[in-house]
């Protein structure tokens, strides 16, 4: 994987939401990192850390307060900033990526095959006979072909995720976004979905951005990982770097940032995430320790 070639570059991304009293709540603070072509990158952090907001900024669903989100797909001669793009221009870029939503987001009034065919009917000029062939191939890739004529209500949670993945890949995207792909699944089904993500990434040679707080899943599929806390990037690194941080004894970690991440990665109930009442996790990192004040 060529680490120098970025397909998405996020630069000083800031997102704030207005409140009823005219103030604003900043959810993302100067988030900066690159996504390399062909890699699987995990965006993780606790509830309310800004993961979903970041995802919505990357797919153009939320207007960005400031900063840049630069795409460089194969059909682009140079990087293009999606911030401020009109809907028509944004939709052209959206055709280059697919999204697996947390619920699967299937239309209940359509069969599985009709759900998967929908992007082809809406966004391509493929002959109807070819559409049926493509749908068959995509269902085979996710091991769902026997269920093609079923309605979504007849499918299990794992089957809906597989079906959603088939639909997300039907236009052969360069980039796949996953929103909590393991949410609501039992451990065995979750592991099966992870294997599917890994296999599809290799077969389709796509770039994958996965938003999750499920650590078992994250460590199975990641090439690199991004840790968010209260809208700030605490760490960007390889899976191996995060494995070392996770496995280091808590009392051997010197910085508050490392102790916070170690607690999150291990799911411990005590540590910087839960200590010191009254301060946000990021504010706690800014409070000098007793040792440094003496």
Indicate the average pLDDT of the chain.
Answer: 87
Residue pLDDT, tens place only, 65-110: 999 999 999 888 899 999 989 998 998 898 899 988 876 678 889 9
Residue pLDDT, tens place only, 37-58: 999 999 998 888 899 999 999 9
Query: Which one, of 211, 202, 141, 205, lies nearest residue 182 by Cα?
Result: 211
* CB proximity list for 253: less than 8 A, separation 6 or greater: 245, 259, 262
**Residue 87 to residues 33, 61, 69, 201: CA-CA distances in angstroms?**
25, 10, 15, 28
Answer positive or negative: Cα dihedral of 28, 9, 219, 99.
Answer: positive
pLDDT higher at 18 or 128: 18
Q: Is the CB of residue 35 less than 8 Å from the CB of residue 219?
A: no
Asked if pLDDT for residue 262 goes beyond 70, the answer is yes
Percent residues over pLDDT 90 in the chain:
49
Query: Which one, of 1, 51, 7, 42, lies nearest residue 241 by Cα?
Result: 42
Determine the pLDDT at residue 238.
Answer: 96
- Scanning the structure block, which residue is given the tokens 């070639």? 5
66: β partners = 14
3-state SS of 175-220 is: EEEEECCCCCCCHHHHHHHHHHHHHHHHHHCCEEEEECCCHHHHHH
- Scanning the structure block, which residue is given the tokens 């001669």? 77
Asked if pLDDT for residue 281 goes beyond 80, the answer is no
Q: Is the CB of residue 235 less than 8 Å from the CB of residue 257?
A: yes
Q: Is the CB of residue 42 less than 8 Å from the CB of residue 222?
A: yes
Would you give the DSSP letter of residue 148?
A: T
Please tell me the total number of residues recorded for the chain in this structure: 294
Residue pLDDT, tens place only, 171-211: 889 999 999 888 888 888 889 889 988 988 888 889 999 99
Query: Which one, of 22, 39, 34, lies nearest residue 69 by Cα?
Result: 34
207: β partners = 175
């Amino acid at each position: 994987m060529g680490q120098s070639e970025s397909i998405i570059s996020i630069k000083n991304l800031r997102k704030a939401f207005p409140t009823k009293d005219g103030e604003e709540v900043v959810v993302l603070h100067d988030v900066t990192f690159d996504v390399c072509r062909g890699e699987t990158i995990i965006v993780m952090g606790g509830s309310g850390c800004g993961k979903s907001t970041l995802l919505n900024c990357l797919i153009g669903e939320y207007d960005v307060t400031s900063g840049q989100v630069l795409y460089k797909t194969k059909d682009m001669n140079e990087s293009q900033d999606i911030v401020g793009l009109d809907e028509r221009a944004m939709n052209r870029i959206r055709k280059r990526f697919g999204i697996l939503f947390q619920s699967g987001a299937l239309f209940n009034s359509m069969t599985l095959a009709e759900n998967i065919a929908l992007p082809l009917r809406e966004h391509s000029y493929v002959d109807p006979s070819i559409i049926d062939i493509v749908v068959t191939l995509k269902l085979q890739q996710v091991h769902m072909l026997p269920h093609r004529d079923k309605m979504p209500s007849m499918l299990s949670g794992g089957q809906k995720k597989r079906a959603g993945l088939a639909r997300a890949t039907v236009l052969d995207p360069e980039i796949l976004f996953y929103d909590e792909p393991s949410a609501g699944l039992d451990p065995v089904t979750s592991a099966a979905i992870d294997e599917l993500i890994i296999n599809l990434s290799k077969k389709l040679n796509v770039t994958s951005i996965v938003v999750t707080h499920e650590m078992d899943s994250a460590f199975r599929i990641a090439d690199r990982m991004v840790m968010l806390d209260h809208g700030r990037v605490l760490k960007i690194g390889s899976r191996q770097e995060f494995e070392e941080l996770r496995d280091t004894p808590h009392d051997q970690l010197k910085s508050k940032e490392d102790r916070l991440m170690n607690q999150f990665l291990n799911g411990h109930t005590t540590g910087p995430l839960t200590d010191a009442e009254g301060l946000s996790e990021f504010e706690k990192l800014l409070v000098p320790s007793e040792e440094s004040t003496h």
